[in-house]
Amino acid sequence: MNCPYCLHHTTSVGDSRPIEGGAAIRRRRRCRNCDSRFTTLERVILRPLQVIKRNGKREPFDWTKLQRSLMMALRKRDVTDDQITAMVN
């Protein structure tokens, strides 16, 4: 984390606490260079799952496509539909 005052790259965390029911973290930081204190807020950003194909192309994950392929691959095996659904989930 860079200091917003002197742009030095080394800071230390003095205090961390969850906020918003654990969805974010508030951290009090101190710059080791200029001794300034500042607060950061960290949140998780969820992106939809993507599949990277062999040719490098990306496409969104399709649950039904995976389930259909597993059913086709396991049709002669002793695997139930519920087990396949559990695998996909």
User: What is residue 88's predicted lDDT score, i.e. its pLDDT?
Assistant: 87
10: closest CA among 33, 26, 27?
Answer: 33
For the stretch 33-78, pLDDT in tens is 999 999 999 998 888 999 999 999 999 999 999 999 999 999 899 9
pTM of the model: 0.51
29: closest CA among 46, 48, 52, 6?
Answer: 6
Three-class DSSP category at 51? strand
In the numeric block, the tokens 């659904």 are attached to 85
Q: What Rg do the C-alpha atoms of the chain give, in angstroms?
A: 23
Euclidean distance between CA atoms 84 and 89, whole angstroms: 9
